[in-house]
Amino acid sequence: MNRLTLTHLRKLKTNGEKITVLTVYDASFAHWLDQAGIEILLVGDSLGMVIQGHDSTLPVTMEQIIYHSQAVARGSQRALIVADLPFMSYATPAQALDNAARLLREGHAQVVKLEGGKWLLDTVKLLTDRGIPVCAHLGLLPQSVHQLGGYLIQGRSEAAADSLRQEALALQAAGASLLVLECVPSQLAADITAALTIPVIGIGAGPACDAQVLVLYDMLGLTPGKRPSFSKDFLQATGAGTIPNALQAFITAVKTGTFPGPEHSFN
Of 258, 221, 251, 223, nearest to 236 (Cα)? 221
CB 91 within 8 A of CB 112: no
CA–CA distances in Å: residue 17 to residues 134, 178, 218: 22, 15, 24
HSE on the CB side for 124, CA within 13 Å? 26
182 catalytic residue (yes or no): yes
Q: Is 265 exposed, middle or buried (0-12, 13-18, 19+ CB in 10 A)?
A: buried
Rg from Cα positions in the chain? 17
Catalytic residue among 106, 158, 182, 263: 182
Cα separation, 62 vs 251, in Å, equals: 30
- Read out DSSP for 80-111? EEEEEPPTTSSSSHHHHHHHHHHHHHTS--SE
Cα separation, 94 vs 187, in Å, equals: 36
Residues serving a catalytic function are 182
